[in-house]
Chain A
Amino acid sequence: MRPFSYTRASSAAEAARAAAEQPGARFLAGGTNLLDLMKLEIEHPAHVIDIGRLPLGDIAPAEGGLRIGAMATASEVAADARVRRDYPVLAQALLASGSPQLRNKATTGGNLIQRTRCPYFYDTAKPCNKREPGAGCAALGGLGRMSAILGWSEACIATHPSDMAVALSALDAVVETVTPDGGARAIPIDELHRLPGEHPEHETNLRPGELITAVILPPPPKGRQGYRKVRDRAAYAGGLASVAVAGDALALGCVALKPWRARRAEAALKAGAPPLAAADVELADAKGHGGADFKIHLTRRLITAALLERGA
């Protein structure tokens, strides 16, 4: 791990201001993703701003829904009685991610901005446009079993690894932030992450120094909710594909560089299409680059199964 200077933030606004003033600074919350990447020297911040003690861990009712503080851990959110009762898709997604030890540490804010698990992003001997813009993408033409099938570009075929964010997408959550000038923003979850385009190094639409303070859940949707995840092991493994259903909303995980809200499928279903046809509409442009071809079929079946379970 390369040397860095360390400070503990006393407020969210101060943390945002400090991060904006020091290029190369990183926020440290639970540390489960950042410290792993710092040990591998994939992340090498010159300055680390510890936000772990900021009082942003509350889960409280808000406008008919729920406001989840950015520092609430995955364990705390999944165990919350209101989440379990009103937003089971979120509890299920959280419980399908990481291990108990990681969930006791990993925070809601950190989960949203965690970085891809693309093996070529982790392999510092290989080129990666995320690590080094312009270097090239070793995943293209590599062993692409984990790679994206939707929304990818020639610069990057990585996926976003979060389960939680997929559930949040289906729930139409809003991400609340503080900006370095002391202001606040409300960002719809689908506008938080970016598709790779020509600049996969820019992963979110957060501005320099901007800090996530909470996630707002709207009132629970009518209809069934559920999260299904397919992975290589039955427990503690990243996903190959996942699907979140919340009422009429449908979102996919591990298929793109952002949680993929399946709006085409939703529209097809609304127009009366059967589940399989709706899945085909969503996946019409999907490409697997060989290694991930199977994920197209897998995702098609996963969408169909989830919709049948919901009662399409």
Chain B
Amino acid sequence: MATPPAGAPSVSIRLTVNGTSRALDLDVRTTLLDALRERLNLKGAKKGCDHGQCGACTVLVNGLRINACLSLAVMHDGDEVTTIEGIGLPDNLAPLQRAFLDRDAFQCGYCTPGQICSAAGLLDEAVRGWPSAATGDLTAPVTLTDAEIRERMSGNICRCSAYPQILDAIRDVAGPAS
């Protein structure tokens, strides 16, 4: 879907991706994920299931984590998108990326960009005080217990099952639960 087939409606949009404004002409059917990967050459966000079930495509849009595969790029005209490349690059890793390395929180690595973007979203949602299904008292402040982190990462699947190490890595950045 890199170039629109003849007859398919195309649209012009502008996205701010990792701090840089980018103009795009797209087949209107192009998902945000395909726009990032195929048009802007940002291959960090991965296409796993392409149906919102695995979380490998997780990016932050206007600061919130979403599945880039279940969104059309045109829906995000004017939005700010942060991909794993905007979180940090090899010569300047973010604390979450450093923690994933330190804790060996991946094996094949395919889900990792989505896991890290999702973890970044999780930490911000906790700061906002948003509850989860693991929150006992809905009116109390949020404490990121292990059960909370696991529940809040349930939209990200790891086929290699590095879940214990992913929890450890996020715990390192979130700080102790008490």
Contact = CB atoms under 8 A, between A and B. Distances in A.
Interface of A: 1, 3-6, 28, 31-32, 35-36, 39, 50, 52, 75, 78-79, 81, 84-85, 88, 91-92, 95-96, 98-102, 104-105, 235-236
A52 B67 CA distance: 16
B7 A3 contact: yes
Contact of A36 (B51, B65, B72, B129): B51
15 contacts: A5-B9, A35-B31, A36-B52, A36-B70, A39-B50, A78-B130, A88-B138, A98-B155, A100-B118, A101-B52, A101-B65, A101-B155, A102-B52, A104-B65, A236-B154
Interface of B: 7-9, 11, 28-29, 31, 50-52, 55, 58, 64-67, 70-72, 74-75, 118, 121-122, 125, 128-133, 135, 138-139, 150-152, 154-156
Contacts of A101: 52, 55, 58, 65-67, 118, 121, 155
The residue among A50, A102, A104 with the most chain B CB atoms within 10 A of its own CB is A104
A99 B55 contact: yes
B139 A85 contact: yes
Given A100-B65, A100-B122, A101-B55, A84 B72 contact: no
A235 B50 CA distance: 20
A99 B130 contact: no
B139 A84 contact: yes
Nearest to A83: B138
A99 B29 contact: no
A235 B134 CA distance: 10
Contact of A6 (B28, B50, B58, B71): B28
A99 B70 contact: no
The residue among B31, B50, B125, B131 with the most chain A CB atoms within 10 A of its own CB is B131
